[in-house]
Structure 1
Amino acid sequence: MKKRYTLEQKRWDDPAEHAMPEHSRVPASFTIGNMKIAPATVLAPMAGVTDTVFRRFIKNASQFTTPADGLADSSADVDSVTSNQQSGCGLIMTEFTSADGLSRMRETKRKRYLTYYDDEHPISAQLFGSNPATLADSARIVQDAGFDLVDLNLGCPAKRVVACNGGSGLLRDLPLIETIFKTVRAAVSIPFTVKFRMGWNDKHIVCVELAKMAEDCGLNAVALHARTREDGYTGQARWEYIAAVKDAVKIPVIGNGDIRTPEDAAAMVDITGCDAVMIGRTAPSNPWIFRQIAQYTATKEATGVGTYDQPTDQDRYRMIRTYFQMLVDEIAVEERAEAARAEAITAAGQVAREQRHRDCVGKMKQFASWFTHGVPGGGALRKQIFESKNGDAVLGAIENFFANRVDDSSNLPLAAASEEQIFASVAYCD
């Protein structure tokens, strides 16, 4: 029977448990070209998720400090070399961007699409496409926009992307990939990386060959999602292929796939020898994952036993409110910029404004859904949220729900959500 592929299947399939070696941990840092990334953790590019608001939200959620007892977050392997204002997330990436679209956009539209803020550095812009010249032109645009790195997407399994020979569709044409590598590498001086899957299917595994090609063409790092395009998001990520890629090249290798917990991140490093870990699906449902990895690393180094904080109801409430406020603030920034350009008074400007507000409410609903899975009574809240017509109604539902929960018991950890509950609704395209 042919394996069924569906992009909507993003929950874990019977997640594997890993034995914890005594000294397993995520590295304190690694280097991509001339760019030091500390710690060695990367927020994966996710379509419909990793816009500037979500990226900054994750950076904020990943902050950690050294407590008075010197145990929870402190160790030479983490905080002595951690950059980004003590953030547990070392590198963030944009949503994947069409090189064709970017090269055709007006300058003003490009600026909106490539929006980022100073506190997002280091940041990598991910591109997809199949035309070497167009990709090179877009890479130059990214470099001129001030991004620290540029990344090529060879992993997205979405039919609409594969249909135009983008994303994982290119894995069937290694000669074209080589031409793209060389053309883009010649076009920019910032670090150039690639994120790819193992191959098109189990009969067409090309990850080791592709990684060697990337190294030979001057790329500075590779990231492997250890599934094929045909796998989609089903089955177990096959970490042994990350190990094979690491054995084959000298440039940094970033491992991606099935990292749900700090223990998983440490196990991936131990099993594969990869230089860094990339986290996708877990981040929207658990924005604290990068901070937890830093805590786990520090406590394991200090005491031999890795521990980390679990979010409370109050933590979830604060995070939801913070994210919603950031969405609203971002709209205000855009509208002030439009007013300065006298765009808001035009018909087109009004349509764009209304669309942004609809998108804001949509993101509120999406995020609240992620964050209430596993919370007792969360089903009723999600129903209220999805029936809400505007942002005020969404906020009202959140306020009423948590007002009855954030009490003297709010410092107790939440009951763990099932993996199926958590990931059933996460949008994701690598």
Structure 2
Amino acid sequence: MKKRYTLEQKRWDSPVEYTMPERTRVPASFSIGNVQIAPATVLAPMAGVTDTVFRRFIKNASQFSAATDAADVAEETSNQQSGCGLIMTEFTSADGLSRMRETKRKRYLTYYDDEHPISAQLFGSNPETLADSARIVQDAGFDLVDLNLGCPAKRVVACNGGSGLLRDLPLIETIFKAVRSAVTIPFTVKFRMGWNDHHIVCVELAKLAEDCGLNAVALHARTREDGYTGQARWEYIAAVKNAVSIPVIGNGDVRTPEDAAAMVDATHCDAVMIGRAAPSNPWIFRQIAQYTATGKYDQPTDQDRYRMIRDYFGMLVHEIEIEEAAEATRAAAITASGQVAREQRHRDCVGKMKQFASWFTHGVPGGGALRKQIFESKKGPAVLDAVEAFFARKADTLMQEAEELEAILN
């Protein structure tokens, strides 16, 4: 069977359980070029996941509640607005971006004002095309542009993109110089340790990035051959940090606030990037910020999970309504092709709801029943109705149990 790199398969192999270091915390802030990022946490770019809806959802999920803001969270040790300091787009093909019509390009580069600071990630292997696409990203108002040298998917590597480029450092140098000369916004790179254990290039690559004027590097501490298996080898993050003076962002096996603090303690990295943990625990950034500020953090309640599922699915439906309203202003009537596009958007919306259902219901007692209803739904509103009904039943059950317990105690 062919090896596929889908997010659903990116599970942790026997994850190490860390305890909180006594003194080390995730830094309150760091800077990439002239962009201040607070706190020093980054949402990793994930194909099929980090679209504008999910990014804004993470921002909202990461906010502290009003009850804890004033009492517990010191501004100098935590976030001003959100527990997630920097968000990143899904990786986008530079070749495709440079060839797209302006209207289609906007769909790939859509973001909202409340997403700043935001970085757009590109992949490709042609220096001129990557430079052109970086200019497009800059003109679109993004705060940073990032080059993907980490994706292990075969279809990307086959085009010499993602981690495929790790076998050609001279070409990477040419790309670095072309993109750096094309834009004035901060330019960063996310990469893996190397192609395999016999071809580890992360320290050399980080030095090359610094020499070419890049503003920060992010290392996923696995090789391309590793995929998402085994343990991330944080010692290589430490080696990169020791080798360069630009900010180093650590990535790999951060599932909890304890993991984030342990990574900073072990590597002295400037920031922590979180990928796989975010869809199943969107509160992880808030939890890290809470721990940084107070030494403790909250676990999500059933009510938190209800609001999370309802809000995210509601945002998906609302995004479709926005797109359809925009189309209506451009055309007096819906053409046949427009109707097909509309139906496809609704299918994509429900498909994404189903994709996220297994993550969002993780840890919810009886969540299997909700997942079944979501998988059987055909329309977005039907999914929202299923969510409302499921949590209403849970609330009724909890109230009944409380009343029975009170009757026993009395």
1:130 pairs with 103, 115, 125, which one? 125
User: 1:66 Cα deviation (Å)?
Assistant: 6.7
1:143-154 correspondence runs (5 A):
143-154=138-149
CA contact (8 A) 2:317 2:380 kept: no
CA contact (8 A) 1:42 1:89 kept: yes
Find out whether 1:178 has 2:173 as its counterpart.
yes
User: 1:318 Cα deviation (Å)?
Assistant: 0.8
User: 1:260 Cα deviation (Å)?
Assistant: 0.4
User: In the alignment, which residue of structure 2 is the partner of 1:332?
Assistant: 321
CA contact (8 A) 1:344 1:353 kept: no
Q: Larger relative CO (CA 8 A, sep 6+): 1 or 2?
A: 1
Find out whether 1:351 has 2:331 as its counterpart.
no
SS at match of 1:127: strand
Q: What amino acid is aligned across from residue 146 of structure 1 in structure 2? A: G
Distance 2:193 2:250 in 1: 12
CA contact (8 A) 1:5 1:231 kept: no
1:156 pairs with 136, 151, 160, which one? 151
Q: What amino acid is aligned across from residue 92 of structure 2 in structure 1? A: T
Name the one with the larger helix percent: 2
Distance 2:37 2:102 in 1: 30
Find out whether 1:118 has 2:116 as its counterpart.
no
Distance 2:47 2:194 in 1: 21
Deviations 1:284-308 (A, max 9, x none): 1111111110101111xxxxxx211
User: In the alignment, which residue of structure 2 is the partner of 1:74?
Assistant: 74
Deviations 1:47-104 (A, max 9, x none): 00000011001101111257479664336312xxx34xx2111000000000000000
CA contact (8 A) 1:24 1:270 kept: yes
Deviations 1:375-424 (A, max 9, x none): 222222212221222223322322222112125859xxxxxxxxxxxxxx
Q: What amino acid is aligned across from residue 362 of structure 2 in structure 1? A: H
User: In the alignment, which residue of structure 2 is the partner of 1:249?
Assistant: 244
Find out whether 1:384 has 2:373 as its counterpart.
yes
1:15-414 correspondence runs (5 A):
15-64=15-64, 67=67, 72-74=72-74, 76-78=76-78, 82-83=79-80, 86-299=81-294, 306-342=295-331, 345-406=334-395, 409=398
1:413-424 correspondence runs (5 A):
none
Distance 1:13 1:69 in 2: 36
User: 1:351 Cα deviation (Å)?
Assistant: 1.4
User: In the alignment, which residue of structure 2 is the partner of 1:10?
Assistant: 10
Judged with a 3 Å threshold, the aligned counterparts in structure 2 of structure 1 residues 363 and 69 are, in CA distance, closer, same or farther, namely closer
Judged with a 3 Å threshold, the aligned counterparts in structure 2 of structure 1 residues 108 and 68 are, in CA distance, closer, same or farther, namely closer
CA contact (8 A) 1:124 1:149 kept: yes
Unaligned runs of at least 5 residues, structure 2: 400-410
Q: What amino acid is aligned across from residue 395 of structure 1 in structure 2? A: L
Deviations 1:7-52 (A, max 9, x none): 2431111101224321110000000011110100000000000000
Q: CA RMSD in A?
A: 1.7
Distance 2:68 2:183 in 1: 45
CA contact (8 A) 1:255 1:268 kept: yes
Alignment length (residue pairs): 396
SS at match of 1:90: coil
SS at match of 2:178: helix
CA contact (8 A) 1:71 1:298 kept: no
SS at match of 1:134: helix
Q: Percent identity?
A: 84
User: In the alignment, which residue of structure 1 is the partner of 2:402?
Assistant: none
Q: Which moved more, 1:154-163 or 1:390-399?
A: 390-399
Distance 2:373 2:317 in 1: 20
The two structures have a TM-score, normalised by structure 2, of: 0.93
Deviations 1:189-240 (A, max 9, x none): 0000000000111111100000000000000000000011111111000000
The two structures have a TM-score, normalised by structure 1, of: 0.89
Judged with a 3 Å threshold, the aligned counterparts in structure 2 of structure 1 residues 345 and 219 are, in CA distance, closer, same or farther, namely same
Unaligned runs of at least 5 residues, structure 1: 300-305, 411-430
User: 1:329 Cα deviation (Å)?
Assistant: 1.1
Distance 1:7 1:198 in 2: 18
SS at match of 1:406: helix
